[in-house]
Structure 1
Amino acid sequence: PGGFERLTSLPLTPNKKVDRRALPAPQQVRLDVEKTSVAPRDTLELQLIKIWEKILDVRPIGVRDNFFELGGHSLLAVRLFAHIKKLTGKNLPLATLFQAPTVEQLANILREKGWTAPWSSLVAIQPGGSKPPFFCVHAIGGNVLTYRDLAYHLGPDQPVYGLQAQGLDGKQPYYTCVEDMAAHYVKEIRTLQPEGPYFLGGSSAGGMVAFEMAQQLHAQGQQVALLALFDTYGPGYPKPLPTASSFRRKLYRFIQRLDLHLRNLFLLEPEKRTVYTLSKLRILKKRIRKKVKRNIKDMTVGSFPGIKYFLPRSLREVAQANRQALSSYVPQAYPGRITLFRASKQPKGCYPDPELGWSGLAAGGLEIHEVPGYHGAIVEEPCVRALVKQLKVCLQKAQSAEPIEQRLASLVYFLLSFTLQILLPC
């Protein structure tokens, strides 16, 4: 709310309802964004402010305003960093926004002479907290900004780390094999946490890589307490029905997106619905404008319109390498338990499979939780709130469970004590 007014009592109508017309006019006391924001103090901060205002379509922006709180997300971050590279010549990893989410902090990094972005697949999304860390693997795009909302709703006591794809910096070699990718990520997480139990997760394609990580950790004698797959498709899923046409699938995807936004509106607080609607309309306006420009370019130079024109080359190549890796990966039966968070809305025109293709691949059992939303959307606002509500229960259960080694040791001790009591006289 823009302000608060304290009243000793509420005026009532003869029917004992609040008489809104009789309420006194509120005092003009509110937070003025323009007065509290900090203006740019040099040319670099001014240039960055202009880029932020263009990308986020928000004005005015102060040097200490948070990118994510202004409505920023992974796709906007890609455009933002492409502009920054064009301005400064420096190629910053998208994960830099976790440590430097303001213009002021980004400017400080860019001012450092000889500064080069330190590269690691392991990214601290939310490093604080007393609980065991939860490791989340990137989806097909390779970056881990999509887990920011999930980490936020898990709370400050739950550490969350992301695993971003190697090659996003344009320097490291890409992985085109899931097994190699998983081996690299296992090595990375063991530098932070040398011994289990481990808590792994991944959205969409990231869940398949997390699955292979769990396989390798188990082969190394390590315990995986939780393997959480966020609407990750197993082998052979989805399998289109013979009658499903290409037009019907495209129509379904359109209805899917429309229904998603309508459901999101109902999940948001009333005062946030207008902001959400206007932001989506602005995005639609920009997409239509870009589509027209790209089609004109297509007619003149014979290029193919699409998302690749605003994606940096490194991101396009990482996504292609990830697709290649997943297409050749053949998952084997996993000796542990899989926890699958399935989106409530699954592709139409396909054979129904409530297990999303994971049947028979979890020797320790397949636990399924349904989350309102569509594929890929359940880890983002506002659907992520329902996901986190269920994920917290699973994490708490897995974190409180006694390790298998301790349970076996306790059982052996009990059996030995019981045997000695029988054999030895009192």
Structure 2
Amino acid sequence: MRPSKTTHLDAEHFLASHEASSPLLEDILSDLSFDAPTSVIDQPFVNLLHQVAFTHPDKTAVEYQQQTISYLDLEEKSNQMASFLADGKVKEGSILAIALDRSIEMVIAMLGILKAGCAYLPVDPKLPHERIQYMLEDADVQLIITSKPLLQEVRCKAEKLHIDTLLPILDAYSPAFVDRISSASSLAYVLYTSGSTGNPKGVKISHKNLTNLLLSVKKKPGLNAKDRLLAITTISFDIAGIELFLPLITGATVVLAEATAIKDGRLLHKLLREKDISFMQATPATWRMLVMAGWEQPLPLRILSGGEAFPKDLALLLLRRCDEVWNGYGPTETTIYSTMKKLAITDPVITIGKPIAHTGIYVLDENQLPVKNGTIGEIHISGEGVADGYLNRPELTTERFVPNPFSHNFPVLYKTGDLGRILPTGDIECLGRIDHQVKIRGFRIELGEIEQQLLEETAIKEVAVHPWEDTPGNKRLASYVVLNDPSQAAEGTFAQLVTNWKENLSKKLPEYMIPADWIPMDQLPLTANQKIDRKGLPKPKLQRTASLDAIEKPGTETEKTIHAIWCKSFRVPSISIDTDFFDMGGHSLLAVEVMTKVDRESGKNLPLTTLFSYPTIRKFAAHLDQSSNDHEWRSLVPIKPNGHKTPIYLVHGMAANAGTFFKFTNRLHEDQPIYGLQSKGLNGKDAPNHTIQEMAEHYVSEILEHDPNGPYILGGYSFGGYVAFEMARILIKKGKTVQSVIMFDTQAVNLPLNDHLDDSALSRLKAKFVKKKVEFQVMLKAPKAFQQIKTRAAKRKRLQLLQKIGRAEAPTSDDRTAVIKRIRALNYQAMISYRPQPLEVPTVVFKAKIVPSKSSDHWANGWTNYSNNVKVIPVEGDHFTLFEEPFVDDVGKKLNMHLKESSH
């Protein structure tokens, strides 16, 4: 599939897609000129790196955290890696996988693979194991360079070579340059992208493809030896090739951003300033995150945006904050970028610009004929960037890589599936997709791949997956499902089906490909041609009210009472008695309101967690009828008591209730027992505990009564982490085994909490500013959760105001709201009086990636001061949204993984 060698920029095929009368054609062609000789383009880029290494031997090539490596050391280490691999380990032309965390060693390994005459397959260790296994098998990978903590559960025939074991033995190999690449047409890497048939497809990129791209981008936007580029992209995303390799052929420095900084706009902004970054590439989603994280003052920075469409409002914001803003466009199949455009404030529209060097762009109609300027057609690409096709997919290669009738120099055209038109300036405007491919956060997603996976579910008859925006710029995937059995569309049944489907998808697809919204449909809307009318699919947010049409009405007197309470709290006319309280949008604060009303109507005082255990009107009413008022109130609450694994005991947060942990019910292994602990005194009768030590003694007594022998896994959210830590001390003193203490974003670094006591005007202003930045990050990542939180807060303030002016009934001293408020105040006093003492116990910190305004950003939340065995697991969200959708999915998944690892 490779085009024949060319010695000059082939301009005639570009002219074929323009009207000859265009007054700017000479300017266009001069813009496309490329001054690199063919001999340079026709060589692997590692040869250019080899030359640079001896031009700048002592200069820093790569920097990561406090570590650096010079150009000469990088050259020699990667040569030694290549020598090791070439020494009978692998054959030239083999595809080797690389699955490493961000590090200097990762760069050494990538270069070593290339110099050994092999191609690398980047693997993101966070991908589902089934997807990783498919990629490894499809590419016939014989060797994976990884590290011991990664890919432990991935079964494959490939040999796993651990980088920690490999590095010490490299000194035994020659540091001389390894010239093992047979030609520039040899394979450099294989990168898997989403595929419409249900499995990802591997794109084959040659050395010549990559060299042409790097030399072109070196010229425009431009990079030189004085530059420092901040690399933030995972190597499994194609634009990472620009970040890692472009600086290395120019003598510039690659600054690898830490994984924690990549999704935190504040940390990225800090890196840009403190590391003197002059160039950065990112997707529009990352640029918007940076702007909203507080980037106001201009920086001496050139930026390149790629991966997805560049919104004009965002481009204007960035143009005011940096020196230059460039927009790049190109599919993976044409080697990252095929066009480039320097943007200006005066641009009427955001375009993708003109072709890069040795690249041709055609806008063609359905008959593969050029359209007139200004007419919309499909964008086709030819040139040195066009890939060798798809690995082991000849039919798909033939379909997408077609003959080029306009040029003999570049005989292959790649059909992008993107709509576009050529403007009078010669710039190309991209206008979206022809097919059902979308981009979310820069990742290319074939909707057909998700649909194919869902059609394997026996309950699903038809399905359509479609993107929508709940807020501008925030795309979500919605799945519209027609069931084989229409009766399963009932809310409770359908919700359980969705849980199962999402779990199955998570084993095969990356997180960004799992739909966030699920809508049952009687039938999918069709066009006149009997195709799915995607424009006719309803917005997911309209479905909640529509679902109330099919209502199972209350029958018993208790059901009618509960139904009336729920309707008033949710402000809806009617609710099916089988609708889940939390699927309706219920949350812990609303649960307090509902249970307070139940107390008054029934004369009974059930634990708040009852609503989590019996979340429908039918189930709750039946439990209420069977309960008596003389039952013993206990702090230990069974959340999921069944299972043979070691139980996990989870302590409430400041608000005293254990209801939060019911969200783990369907997110942990089916054999994992879960118990919650709620504050003593929530029944309004028992005297509450006043210190963390008292709470720990009380909770340990109930745990020992439940399970006298152990071992024990303890955990706590926020405030509850301190209690769990103290419980571990008591149990260990009693000779019991505590496997681990899990801190869900508990901050030890702030004790004592003096910063909370600073009430100066400056402190309040600073806290308000930081709070707004955190809120925006939450809004970007979880707009639905953010809106729910803001709505709850607004309702709470409104109710307090109405109570204050006498327009709403004020809470009595013995209702749940007042009781929780008193216990919360006691818990706060207990927290600021608590001083943890060091303890030899494995401590696991689930650290929120978004750090709130009143939390110190210590890497382990300060627990290294109290335990010599601390493990940190970063999780999505901030301190207050860890257990909100969609962040709770990430917490549940990683907790499940930790429990599985600890059991081994």
Q: Give the TM-score range, shorter chain.
A: 0.7 to 0.9
C-alpha change, 1:54 and 1:228, in structure 2 (3 Å) is same
AA partner of residue 714 (structure 2) = L
Residue 373 (1) aligns with residue 882 (2): no
Q: 1:389 aligns with which of 893, 896, 901?
A: 893
Check the 8 A contact 2:578/2:616 in 1, yes or no: yes
C-alpha change, 1:383 and 1:316, in structure 2 (3 Å) is same
Q: 1:316 aligns with which of 821, 827, 835?
A: 821
Query: After superposition, what is the alpha-carbon deviation per residue over 1:339-386, rounded to whole angstroms, capped at 9, x for unaligned?
Result: 1111122234776422323232103x2111222221132133221222
Check the 8 A contact 1:197/1:224 in 2, yes or no: yes
Check the 8 A contact 1:203/1:376 in 2, yes or no: no
Residue 228 (1) aligns with residue 742 (2): yes
Shift of 1:177: 1.8
Shift of 1:189: 1.5
Check the 8 A contact 2:682/2:816 in 1, yes or no: no
Aligned pairs for 1:338-377 within 5 A: 338-348=843-853, 352-363=857-868, 365-377=869-881
AA partner of residue 247 (structure 1) = L
1:60 maps to: 574
Q: 2:802 aligns with which of 284, 289, 293?
A: 293
Aligned pairs for 1:400-415 within 5 A: 400=904
CA distance, structure 2, for counterparts of residue 342 and residue 150 of structure 1: 17
1:134 maps to: 648
Residue 208 (1) aligns with residue 722 (2): yes
Query: After superposition, what is the alpha-carbon deviation per residue over 1:2-58, rounded to whole angstroms, capped at 9, x for unaligned?
Result: xxxxxxxxxxx7768559855527799x99845653211134322311211222345
Query: After superposition, what is the alpha-carbon deviation per residue over 1:104-128, rounded to whole angstroms, capped at 9, x for unaligned?
Result: 2332344358544431111111122
C-alpha change, 1:170 and 1:372, in structure 2 (3 Å) is same
AA partner of residue 825 (structure 2) = Q
Check the 8 A contact 1:231/1:376 in 2, yes or no: no
Check the 8 A contact 1:136/1:162 in 2, yes or no: yes
Aligned pairs for 1:111-190 within 5 A: 111-112=625-626, 114-190=628-704
- Structure 2 unmatched runs, 5+: 1-365, 368-377, 379-416, 418-433, 437-525
Structure 2 length-normalised TM = 0.38
Check the 8 A contact 2:669/2:896 in 1, yes or no: no
The size of the alignment, in residue pairs, is 372
CA distance, structure 2, for counterparts of residue 207 and residue 92 of structure 1: 26
AA partner of residue 262 (structure 1) = L
Q: Secondary structure at the match of 1:153?
A: coil
CA distance, structure 2, for counterparts of residue 351 and residue 63 of structure 1: 45
Q: Secondary structure at the match of 1:149?
A: helix
2:530 maps to: 24
Query: After superposition, what is the alpha-carbon deviation per residue over 1:319-339, rounded to whole angstroms, capped at 9, x for unaligned?
Result: 122222222222111012211
1:191 maps to: 705
Shift of 1:309: 11
Query: After superposition, what is the alpha-carbon deviation per residue over 1:378-424, rounded to whole angstroms, capped at 9, x for unaligned?
Result: 13322122222222222112112xxxxxxxxxxxxxxxxxxxxxxxx
Residue 80 (1) aligns with residue 586 (2): no
Query: After superposition, what is the alpha-carbon deviation per residue over 1:147-196, rounded to whole angstroms, capped at 9, x for unaligned?
Result: 12233211422111101111111122211121121111112112222222
C-alpha change, 1:77 and 1:116, in structure 2 (3 Å) is farther
C-alpha change, 1:277 and 1:393, in structure 2 (3 Å) is closer
C-alpha change, 1:208 and 1:98, in structure 2 (3 Å) is same
AA partner of residue 46 (structure 1) = K
Worse-matched range after superposition: 331-340 or 277-286: 277-286
CA distance, structure 2, for counterparts of residue 38 and residue 342 of structure 1: 42
CA distance, structure 1, for counterparts of residue 790 and residue 529 of structure 2: 35
1:256 maps to: 774
Q: Secondary structure at the match of 1:171?
A: coil
Check the 8 A contact 1:73/1:145 in 2, yes or no: no
Check the 8 A contact 1:204/1:376 in 2, yes or no: no
Q: 2:902 aligns with which of 398, 404, 407?
A: 398
Query: After superposition, what is the alpha-carbon deviation per residue over 1:223-250, rounded to whole angstroms, capped at 9, x for unaligned?
Result: 1112110110115356649996212212
Check the 8 A contact 1:146/1:379 in 2, yes or no: yes
1:270 maps to: none
C-alpha change, 1:333 and 1:173, in structure 2 (3 Å) is same
Check the 8 A contact 1:203/1:379 in 2, yes or no: no
- Structure 1 unmatched runs, 5+: 1-12, 266-272, 401-426
Shift of 1:289: 3.5
Q: Secondary structure at the match of 1:165?
A: coil
Worse-matched range after superposition: 117-126 or 38-47: 38-47
CA distance, structure 2, for counterparts of residue 87 and residue 345 of structure 1: 42
Q: Secondary structure at the match of 1:93?
A: coil
Q: 2:622 aligns with which of 89, 104, 108?
A: 108
CA distance, structure 1, for counterparts of residue 579 and residue 855 of structure 2: 45
Check the 8 A contact 2:604/2:629 in 1, yes or no: no
C-alpha change, 1:109 and 1:397, in structure 2 (3 Å) is closer
Q: Secondary structure at the match of 2:666?
A: helix
CA distance, structure 2, for counterparts of residue 367 and residue 383 of structure 1: 20
Check the 8 A contact 1:79/1:310 in 2, yes or no: no
C-alpha change, 1:113 and 1:369, in structure 2 (3 Å) is closer
Check the 8 A contact 1:109/1:115 in 2, yes or no: no
C-alpha change, 1:349 and 1:95, in structure 2 (3 Å) is closer
2:610 maps to: 96
C-alpha change, 1:296 and 1:328, in structure 2 (3 Å) is same
Check the 8 A contact 2:604/2:628 in 1, yes or no: no
Bigger relative contact order, structure 1 or 2 (CA pairs below 8 A, ≥6 apart): 1
Which has a greater percent of strand? 2
Q: Secondary structure at the match of 1:245?
A: helix
* RMSD value, Cα: 3.5
CA distance, structure 2, for counterparts of residue 117 and residue 261 of structure 1: 43
Shift of 1:92: 1.8
Shift of 1:100: 2.3
Aligned pairs for 1:4-15 within 5 A: none
CA distance, structure 2, for counterparts of residue 284 and residue 186 of structure 1: 35
Shift of 1:217: 1.0
AA partner of residue 264 (structure 1) = A
1:269 maps to: none
Which has a greater percent of helix? 1
Shift of 1:218: 0.9
Q: Secondary structure at the match of 1:45?
A: helix
